[in-house]
Chains A and B, each alone.
Chain A
Amino acid sequence: METTRLAGIWSQRKVLDTLVRRDLRVRYARSWLGYVWTLIDPLAMGLVYFFVFGVLFGRTTGSDDLVFIVYLLAGMLPWNWFNNSINETARALYAERLLVRSTNIAREMWVIRVVIAKGIEFLLSLPVLVLFVVLILFGADLGSGNLSLNERLIAIVPALLLQFVLCVGMGLVMAPVTALVDDFVRIVRIVLRMLFYFTPIVYSMELVDDKLPWARDLMVWNPLVGIMDMWRVGLSGKVGVDGWAWITATIVSFAWLAFGLWVFRKLEPAVLKEI
């Protein structure tokens, strides 16, 4: 059943292109500043976290680790994609109910399109990370630490793929549930805020091993731990690959996709009656 649904989605991928273009056009049509916002937002937040954790708390990564500001951005930018995807997919069906009611495309598209549109915005925000990498490579002193680009940068490809699978899977659960249950969005927001701190973005897993050794075994089931690690290994030759986290990230992401497809199919008739 799920495979035939997937085949149906694949056969309609052209519509996906239309939907994503529409999303991006709506986002960037209103003001020429549109693209600048995509850069300013992560830049501002990155600087805030940098001053709080990097400067005030004096969090230096040491010579064996990635420079903190790069470490931070390499975690925060993918996090923003994840965060925006989940928040937006939760509203995906309800916000577009007029369209959902009047067109007969595979309804999963409404979720997938959000993840892709947010993914493109995320890719457009990557110059922020590139900027800091270039600054440091050219000798700017932005804190102690290592920065040595290496061939493991290729791990970004599976990182993107896994995060896409994860976001689609979770989004397929969020969208129908929020369409049926009014205040589910509030819980999602709280969980997301907690998850931000349960993901190694402003701290590293080494710090967890150091202070709370037992927590690693739990945290490793957060697929973002592995995904963040994939982002960072290519930026410094001294960062080791966290093999277990990569494996659990893969398992958990695809498990979410399977679960999401199942939930979506179960709830779809009820959602259509409701919206």
Chain B
Amino acid sequence: MTDVVEWRTAPDQPVITVEDLGIEFLRGRKRKLSLREMIYRGGTSHNKETFWALRHVSFEVGRGEAVGLVGGNGEGKSTLLKMIAGTLLPDEGRARVREGVAPLIELTGGFIGELSARENIYLTAGLHGMSTEQVDERFDQIVEFAGPQVRDGIDKPFRHFSSGMQVRLGFAVITCLDEPIILVDEVLAVGDKAFREKCYDRMEALLEQGRTLFLVSHSEGDLKRFCTRGLYLKGGAVVQDGDMDAVLDQYNDDIMSQS
């Protein structure tokens, strides 16, 4: 983690522009097709009914903004985050992201159990666009952040790590990527209590450097602590975009009025 963020865009240019974004999913759980089925039944049995998880969503996020996404389960928060991360493609409109992204999504997804922790650090960082030299530079920092247990086992196969140690290493690698935009899906803090504090400190340090944060969370504490702007998603659309506290108030009011 360096202290100065390198931006490619002009200071007043939005770093994320979402225009008329829409994505359609099949309602039936089973989507996977089977040739056998197609031949026997002359078609597929799966439900062709679709729904729009998100539609006509538009907003802009500028440099240094910390945006919290609020909404109930299944309202498209994670889906929106994935489309900004580029790991889902929209069916309508587009999401333009003009800066590099450090996605704190599926933290241990890129690690391979057979390889050592050291090799895994190089591989995962490499997949997120870091060169070997850049990883060399940050290697000690990553290991130090992940903690002494990780350091002791750095050349052991990754599968011998406890699940807690695995996510700690994942968190350490991604937050060292030095990308101007940070996307977080619930996993703002991982591991035991002591490590969670370290995660919070790291997040605050990253934000102080003026990075842009996009946070999906159900924790009101986290949202209030880190975010200044809130987006409230409901029924596949943005129903409110404004001050974080105001958005949370509206969200809580909606929940109260439903129950």
Using A25-B115, A103-B87 as known contacts, say yes or no to A183 and B36 having CB atoms under 8 A apart.
yes
Residues of A within 8 A of B105 (CB): 101-102
The number of residues on chain B lying at the interface, defined by a beta carbon within 8 Å of a beta carbon of chain A, is 33
Determine if A182 and B106 form an interchain contact, defined as CB atoms under 8 angstroms apart.
Answer: no
Task: Tell me the smallest distance from the CB of B132 to a CB of chain A, in Å.
Answer: 9
Q: Closest B-chain residue to A186, C-beta based?
A: B35
Q: Which of B35, B103, B129 contacts A184 (CB 8 A)?
A: B35
Determine if B87 and A182 form an interchain contact, defined as CB atoms under 8 angstroms apart.
Answer: no
A29 at the interface (CB under 8 A from B): yes
Binds A, one of B26-34, B62-70, B208-216: B26-34
Per-residue B-contact encoding for A1-43, CB less than 8 Å = 1, 0 else: 0000000000000110011011001100110000000000000
Main secondary structure of the interface of A (DSSP, over half): helix
B165 at the interface (CB under 8 A from A): no
Task: Tell me the smallest distance from the CB of A161 to a CB of chain B, in Å.
Answer: 26
Determine if A15 and B87 form an interchain contact, defined as CB atoms under 8 angstroms apart.
Answer: no
Determine if B35 and A102 form an interchain contact, defined as CB atoms under 8 angstroms apart.
Answer: no
Using A26-B115, A269-B89 as known contacts, say yes or no to A103 and B110 having CB atoms under 8 A apart.
yes
Q: Which of B25, B35, B85, B115 contacts A104 (CB 8 A)?
A: B85
Q: Which of A29, A102, A180, A187 contacts B115 (CB 8 A)?
A: A29
Binds A, one of B119-127, B140-148, B189-197: B119-127
Determine if A180 and B91 form an interchain contact, defined as CB atoms under 8 angstroms apart.
Answer: no
Q: Closest B-chain residue to A29, C-beta based?
A: B114
B42 at the interface (CB under 8 A from A): no
B109 at the interface (CB under 8 A from A): yes
Q: How far apart are the CA atoms of A101 and B185 in the complex, in Å? A: 13
Contact size range, A = 20 to 34
Q: How far apart are the CA atoms of A100 and B106 in the complex, in Å? A: 11
Determine if A274 and B32 form an interchain contact, defined as CB atoms under 8 angstroms apart.
Answer: yes
Q: Which of A15, A181, A273 contacts B34 (CB 8 A)?
A: A181
B112 at the interface (CB under 8 A from A): yes
Per-residue B-contact encoding for A164-187, CB less than 8 Å = 1, 0 else: 000000000000000011111001
Per-residue A-contact encoding for B74-100, CB less than 8 Å = 1, 0 else: 000000001001111111000000000
Q: Which of A21, A183, A268 contacts B89 (CB 8 A)?
A: A268
Residues of B within 8 A of A184 (CB): 35
Q: How far apart are the CA atoms of A121 and B122 in the complex, in Å? A: 22
85-122 of chain A: CB within 8 A of chain B: 98-105
Task: Tell me the smallest distance from the CB of A29 to a CB of chain B, in Å.
Answer: 6
Task: Tell me the smallest distance from the CB of B13 to a CB of chain A, in Å.
Answer: 20
B149 at the interface (CB under 8 A from A): no
Q: How far apart are the CA atoms of A149 and B91 in the complex, in Å? A: 56
Determine if A274 and B126 form an interchain contact, defined as CB atoms under 8 angstroms apart.
Answer: no
Per-residue B-contact encoding for A257-275, CB less than 8 Å = 1, 0 else: 0000000000011001110
B103, B110, B127: which has the most chain A beta carbons within 10 Å?
A: B127
Determine if A30 and B114 form an interchain contact, defined as CB atoms under 8 angstroms apart.
Answer: yes
Q: Which residues of A contact B (CB under 8 A)?
A: 14-15, 18-19, 21-22, 25-26, 29-30, 98-105, 180-184, 187, 268-269, 272-274
